[in-house]
Amino acid sequence: MPPERKRGRARLVFEIGCEELPPSAAWDGSRQLRELAGPALDEARIDAGGVRVYSTPRRLALIVEDVALHRRDLVRDVRGPAVRAAFAAGGVPTPAAEGFARSQGVDVASLERRTTPQGEYVYAVRREAGGESAAALGALLPALAGRLSFPRAMRWGAGTIRFSRPVRWIVALLGGEVISCEFAGVAAGRETAGHRTLHPGRPAVPSAEEYERALRAARVMVDPDERRRRIAAGVRRAARTAGGRPILDADLLEETVQLVEWPTALAGRFDTAFLALPPEILVTVMQHHQKYFAVEDDRGTLLPAFVALRNGGTRGLDGVREGNEWVLRARLSDARFFFDEDRKRSLEAFLQKLEDVVFLEPLGTMGDKRRRLETLAGWLHTALSLDDVKAGQLRRAAHLSKADLVTAMVREFPELQGVMGGIYSRLGGDPESVPIAQAISEQYLPRGNVLPKSDLGAYLALIDKIDTLVGAISVGLEPSGSQDPYGLRRAGQGIVAVMLDREIRLTAGGFVNAALDAYAVDDDQQRQRVRDRVEDMLWQRLRTILLEEGISYDTVDCVNGWRHDPVDAAARARALWAFRRQSEFARLHTAFDRAARIVPRDFEGEFHANGLVHPAERSLFNKFTSTTPLVHSAVTNGRYGEALRILSSLAGPVDEFFKDVLVMADDETVKNNRLALLKNITGLVCQVADLTHIVVPEGKPVRDSQA
Amino acid sequence: MTFQDLLIGLERFWAAQGCVIAQPYDVEVGAGTMHPATFLRALGPEPWRAAYVQPSRRPADARYGQNPNRLYQHYQYQVILKPSPDDVQDLYIESLRTVGVRPRDHDLRFLEDNWEWPTGGAWGVGWQVFLDGQEISQFTYFQQVGGLDLPLVSAELTYGTERIAQFIQRKASVFDLEWRSGITYGEIRRQEEVEHSAHAFAAADVATLRALFDAYDREGRRLLEEGLVLPAYEQLLKCSHVFNLLDARGAVGVADRASLLGRCRVIARGCAERYLAQRESLDWPLLRRETHATGA
């Protein structure tokens, strides 16, 4: 049953029908539709209820409930001449008033008098009738479609419009009526398209209310949430028939949702002999290349089975299964061939070939990169005071880290870079190889939320990324706007995330210097430029991470002074953020703020304890003296929350001081001594965080309500 | 359906759609796209529809006739429709039906796959077409060719004919395909594969190939100067093939690769620009005398 509609309201459906969209475009395009629709309707003065979107591989659909059939009237007040000039004696309108009324299209008698801060004026109240929503929607909907942006938009036919894929049909319905409009040369109607193979053709949607039902009848599940549920349940069921449970990879599931309009899961099998291959390879072939879900038993051991999704029903399912099994067999045979080929040599033996592989065009070969990583591993040995065993393993991991790039497996399955190196190194049989193998396999992390699990992996990930970042920046390969072809932002993000995760204390400048040394960059100006740029990038990434944790902008700004040491800056920001939500914070901040405001920025005066004259300033000084070592000790130990609590004990004496003492005394010496004392106090606070950046929400001037 | 029936079926289907049934280009190419009927005709405002079989050579994919689906040379079936018609996907699916693939009985997918040929300054947007998990075709809307924007966007359909035939005939190895009833693909082509593999990986003389590349490159640029677009374009195709042989031979270093491909690109772009100027000076013959069906 369609829901009861309010009078004068109707449901709106706008479906953009396309040739198969990339999954990311289906997700992203529908998200944009949802975000743009509300404000666009409001701007067009069309009242509406809830907005939702659907998407499938072949359509983006916007649904708006309870759309008003008539637009709101536009009421606009226009100020005219001053009352003095508008009316002659006895209230007779002057030519000025008449002219104004005429220009606004209103009757002179309808002008209103209003008092403004500038005096009394006449106003014309203009009212434009809203008219029918359908007419306005006819312009609004195509404009909405035209505002969707896609990273790789295309043209087709003889047209000039760009969209993710060619637009082939448009459904635009308000209630039962078609909204007359056109986008990309396609006129809107009520004809949608059914499932490509189950229901070919162009069924009509009788009314917006019946949109979902009409599509279901045409074998299209238009709601991606429903498809996701169906797929997950179907995949589980199919895996059970194969005797196990699916590895429901989240990315694969999201992708699959946008590859099918009517999902049917089916289980297939492969020869158990292939289980001799490392599971990472089997899973990659199934997930990445065939978009199958791998199947494992209760103990997490892979079974010789897979679950595929078919875009369609159950007809001819055995044939589909057979076809998929056949393809997988060929894929796995290839993989086994490459694996066996690679295994004929040690991982070490591949290193020579790295000399022929370019890293980044002006930055030499992967062989050069490998040597720099070994140098950086040596640098980390000292910088982090690693023990000799660990340092030796790190150097060995760096040595072998890129060798897998020239193996047959990685050339065929590039997403297995690192992973294959780990596998080949492990299979190399070296008894010490376990941590080395793990480090090699973790060097490209973090990926999503997955971080290196081992220390060595974290170190290798750090030096791999700083080398890329510093190298690229030093030859001017900067990311710009949304373009970041070398993944430099991701590298920066990875460095900060790994540092925070394992609390690795490295200064940005020192780390960049080490990387610059490895590149043998010796021009001082260039070194400075790269250092500044990389430090800034790391700070931007750190800011993003902290903001995403929910810490406020101004809190993060307070720790800018420690940006050179990301772990330290993060600890300070987190402590300050926690402290801000306690009552002591307001007192500390008020005291700090008063002191900071009164001391001129360029004040240089020296403090002399024997120049204190008033008891309140003496008591403040005593408190300052007793507090200072406590604060220092807390800061040295990284206990910033504690430092802030100690500092807040200065708030009382500061308040007393301001109450009892006139800072700006006539006597210049007394005045300067007081300013110097206050400066010492703000200086002490700033050893934890620079509170001058704090933005206090209260006390904003009330905005003048007059236009 | 035999392999030859598949090819004949596609020819008939696309002929009925108003395509010029062109013949394979008689210079070695890596893909049907490089045939002038696609690469050059995709340029400019003239409508064009063509279809043809194109033997395509990929020296690096050579496997001595041992791998069940990798070949030094395979047969692409190439269709170019310019401008791309609105029902182009339906036409493609219909063509599969005519060669015996009934979509309802299978799982047919269009999976995002964008195409790029940097040497030719060409790129496009489209899909790999999957049938029950097997990639059987490439489907591309050209966006740029020779570094030039296209006033009419072409749709290019490239069928992997061996793949489709293997699918229809349920043969795990390409060499077991029935070419015509009673004669297999392997009986006709395996020896060729063995010999070309040996040539590509071992026998090809690197110094000779280098000298050939230089000669073709020089000749290509000279011919371009003289305004002989198609002869110059053939020199480019030869450069490209010689490059692929050098690459399979493992004789292309890092810096080398960039420089050799850069030289190819210069000729490719030159050909695209000259071709366009030439068509314009001829007053776009196919624009005036449009004899192509404009779509069903």
Top residue of B112, B141, B152 to mutate, by most chain A CBs within 10 Å, is: B112
Separation between Cα atoms, residue A577 and residue A556, nearest integer Å:
9
Low-confidence winner among A92-106, A230-244, A523-537 (lowest mean pLDDT) = A92-106
Contact B153/A358, CB-based, under 8 Å?
no
Yes or no, beta carbons of B125 and A20 under 8 Å apart: no
Over residues B184-192, mean pLDDT: 97
Confidence class for position A703, pLDDT limits 50, 70, 90: very low
Of A158, A292, A320, the CB nearest to B107: A320
Interface probe with B: pick from A20, A186, A260, A361, most Cβ of B within 10 Å = A20
- Note the pLDDT tens digit of each residue in A465-515: 999 999 999 988 888 877 787 889 999 999 999 999 999 999 999 999 999
Candidates A533, A351, A520, A370; CA nearest to A460 is A370
Question: Coil, helix or strand for B216?
Answer: helix
CB-defined contacts A:B, below 8 A: 102
Decide if pLDDT at A401 tops 60. Answer: yes
Instruction: Specify the pLDDT at position A605.
Output: 83
- Cβ–Cβ of A20/B106 closer than 8 Å? no
Put simply, the chain A residues between 256 and 285 with a CB less than 8 A from any chain B CB are 259
pLDDT more than 90, % of chain B:
81
Closest-CA residue of A relative to B105 is: A316
ipTM of the shown complex: 0.93
State mean pLDDT over A239-251.
95
pLDDT of A667 > 90? The answer is no
Instruction: Note whether A326 contacts B134, CB cutoff 8 Å.
Output: yes
Q: Is the pLDDT of residue A429 over 80?
A: no
- Nearest by Cα to A199 from A312, A308, A309: A312
Query: Would you call B270 an interface residue with chain A, using a CB distance cutoff of 8 Å?
Result: no
Element (H, E) at B56: strand B48-57
Q: Which helix (H) or strand (E) holds A683?
A: helix A668-685
| A224 backbone dihedrals φ, ψ, rounded to 5° | -65, -30
Q: In the structure encoding, which two tokens stand for residue A382, read together?
A: 């000292």
Is the confidence at residue A704, as pLDDT, over 60?
Answer: no
Task: Estimate to the nearest angstrom the gap between the alpha carbon of A281 and the chain centroid.
Answer: 30
Mean pLDDT of chain A: 92
* Residue type at A587 in one-letter notation: R
Q: How confident is the model at residue A413 (pLDDT cuts 50, 70, 90)?
A: confident
Quote the CA–CA distance of B126 and B112 in Å, as a whole number.
6
**Cβ within 8 Å, pair A154-B131:** no
Q: How confident is the model at residue B169, as a pLDDT?
A: 93
Task: Read off the pLDDT band of B249 (50, 70, 90).
Answer: confident
A317 has a chain B CB within 8 A of its CB: no
Q: How far is B223 from chain A (nearest CA, A)?
A: 32
Tokens standing for B19?
């395509």
User: Is the alpha carbon torsion for A593, A598, A601, A607 positive or negative?
Assistant: negative
| Nearest-CA distance A268 → chain B (Å) | 12
Give me the DSSP letters along A282-327: HHHIIIIIT-PEEEE-TTSPEEEEEEEEEES-STTHHHHHHHHHHH
The reply to whether B84 touches chain A by the CB within 8 Å rule is yes
In tens, the pLDDT along A297-313 reads 999 999 999 999 999 99
Q: Are A45 and A130 in contact (CB under 8 A)?
A: yes
Residue A662 binned pLDDT confidence (cut-offs 50, 70, 90): confident
Whether the bond into B151 is cis, omega within 30 of 0: no
Q: Which of B132, B154, B252 to mutate to test the interface with A (most CBs of A within 10 A)?
A: B132
At A697, the pLDDT band (50, 70, 90 cuts) reads low
CB A379 within 8 A of CB A389: no
User: What is the C-alpha separation between A110 and B213, in angstroms, rounded?
Assistant: 88
Predicted pLDDT at A4: 61
The answer, for A202 touching chain B at a CB cutoff of 8 Å, is no
Which member of A158, A323, A356 has the closest CB to residue B254?
A: A356
User: pLDDT grade, residue B255 (50/70/90)?
Assistant: low
Query: At residue A40, what are phi and psi to the nearest 5 degrees?
Result: -65, -40
Secondary structure letter of residue B19 according to DSSP: -
Which long-range contacts link A548-554 to residues 24+ away (Cβ below 8 Å)? A549/A574, A551/A577, A552/A577, A552/A580, A553/A695, A554/A693, A554/A694, A554/A695
Contact B292, B14 (CB under 8 A): no
pLDDT (0 to 100) of residue A266: 97
Q: How far is A359 from chain B (nearest CA, A)?
A: 10
State the average pLDDT over residues B77-85: 98
> Mutating which of B110, B140, B176, B247 best tests the A interface, going by the most A Cβ atoms within 10 A?
B110
B143 to chain A, any CB pair closer than 8 A? The answer is: yes
Chain A environment of B84 (Cβ under 8 Å):
156-157, 166
Helices (H), chain B: 3-16, 36-39, 88-98, 161-169, 185-198, 206-225, 229-248, 254-281, 285-288
Q: What span, in angstroms and rounded, lies between the C-alpha atoms of A49 and A37?
A: 11
- pLDDT, tens only, A143-195: 999 999 998 899 999 999 999 999 999 999 999 999 999 999 999 999 999 99
CA dist., res. A382 & res. A517, Å (int): 15
For position A613, what pLDDT does the model report?
A: 83
Cα B164 to Cα A580, B10, B161, B185: the distances in Å are 67, 12, 5, 14
Q: What is the mean pLDDT of residues B205-218?
A: 95
| Closest by CA position to A12, among listed A175, A236, A197 | A175
State whether A358 and B254 contact (CB < 8 Å): yes
Cβ proximity of A410 and A288 under 8 Å: no
Asked whether the predicted pLDDT for residue B206 surpasses 50, the reply is yes
State yes or no: pLDDT of A601 exceeds 90.
no
**Higher pLDDT, residue B53 or A477:** B53
- Rounded CA gap, A583 and A575, in Å? 14
B104 to A259: CB separation less than 8 angstroms, yes or no: no
**Residue length, chain B?**
296
Calculate the alpha carbon distances from A452 to A278, A437, A495, A542 in Å. Answer: 20, 12, 11, 18
Lowest mean pLDDT among A298-307, A666-675, A680-689, B26-35: A666-675
pLDDT value for A603: 87
Is there a contact between A154 and B103 if contact means CB atoms under 8 Å apart?
no
User: What would the DSSP string read from start to end of A337-384?
Assistant: HHHHHHTTS-GGGGGGGGGGSBSSGGG-BHHHHHHHHHHHHHHHHHHT
Q: List the single residue in B103, B134, B141 with the smallest CB-CB distance to A323.
A: B134
Confidence band for A27, pLDDT divided at 50, 70 and 90: very high
Question: How big is chain A by its Cα radius of gyration, in Å?
Answer: 35
Mean pLDDT over A423-444 rounds to 88
- Partners of B109 in the beta sheet? B130
**pLDDT in the model for residue B257:** 79
Residues of chain B neighbouring A22 (CB-CB closer than 8 A): 112
CB contact under 8 A, A158 and B153: yes
Report pLDDT for A262. Answer: 97
Mean pLDDT, residues A93-108 taken together: 90
Is pLDDT at A698 greater than 70 in this prediction?
A: no
Instruction: Answer whether A136's CB lies under 8 Å from A71's CB.
Output: yes
Residue in A157, A311, A319 nearest the CB of B105: A319
Q: Which residues contact A259 (CB under 8 A, 6 or more apart)?
A: A23, A57, A291, A309, A311, B109, B111
Q: What pLDDT shows up at residue A702?
A: 36
Q: Is B8 on the interface with A (CB under 8 A)?
A: no
